[in-house]
Amino acid sequence: MPEFCIWKDESNCIDCELYGLLHCHPYFQHSLYFALAFLSALIPATIGIILGGFGMIFTFLIFSIWFSFALFFFCVWESKVLCSHCPHYSNPSQRTLHCGINSGMYKITSYNPEPMNRDEKIQFLIGVLILILYPLPFLILSSQILFFILTCLGIAIWITTIQLKHCKECINFSCPLNRVNGEIKRKFLKKNPQLEEFRREERNLE
């Protein structure tokens, strides 16, 4: 497999016209923004469930299921249907991801140069919905209306943050949440014409 520009050290990117416009390399602030936005929903949801009066054992079970699903989603489900199609997954010398969101995540499968198909996009969106909507029924059942509202507000903040801060700069162009400008896509594809998925994306942009 030929070497792609994102494999090179960031010092080689200073003069690139796309420098700072795409997440070609992992930056701590990207992960920080993502985590803080997610915490805006996680914290009120956690407090609301704890105050919900479900009892220690059932409360522990609620969080155990949620935490286990989150691990499965980020480490297995998302990695398979979404991340494996991303150019960050392509470098065979790296066993972990080097992207702005999942930096450090272990690669569980091989790079798939094909764009995400419709089934994979649906699977990914279903997984995201399960992850973020999971606590809401428990907040309603326990009449924690304030924390329900705060959690919904946190979810809105998280979605807005990733759409404005991450999805507009992400190089996984086939992701259903991707919002990269078409002209920027074309310029990136031109720099990496070897990527089969990008050649197909480029034809779609013409």
In this prediction, residues 125-148 reach a mean pLDDT of 97
Residue 202, pLDDT score:
43
Interval 82-109: pLDDT, tens: 999 988 888 888 888 888 788 888 899 9
What is the DSSP annotation of 47-106? HHHHTT---HHHHHHHHHHHHHHHHHIIIIIHHHHTGGGSGGG--TT-SB--STTTTTPB
As a whole number, the mean pLDDT across the chain is: 88
State the pLDDT confidence band at 204, using cuts at 50, 70 and 90: low
For the chain, state the CA radius of gyration: 19
Task: Tell whether the model's pLDDT for residue 196 goes beyond 60.
Answer: no
Task: Tell whether the model's pLDDT for residue 79 goes beyond 80.
Answer: yes
Pick the residue with more confidence: 94 or 144? 144
- Which pTM was predicted? 0.84
Tokens coding 156: 């809105």
Distance of alpha carbon 154 from alpha carbon 167, whole angstroms: 18
What residues contact 12, with CB distance under 8 A and at least 6 apart?
Answer: 5
In this prediction, residues 54-60 reach a mean pLDDT of 96
Residue 198, pLDDT score:
47
In the chain, % of residues over pLDDT 70: 93
State the pLDDT confidence band at 1, using cuts at 50, 70 and 90: low
Q: What residue has token string 């162009």?
A: 173
The domain locations on the chain are: 25-180
Residue 132, pLDDT score:
95
Task: Tell whether the model's pLDDT for residue 164 goes beyond 70.
Answer: yes
In this prediction, residues 165-189 reach a mean pLDDT of 90
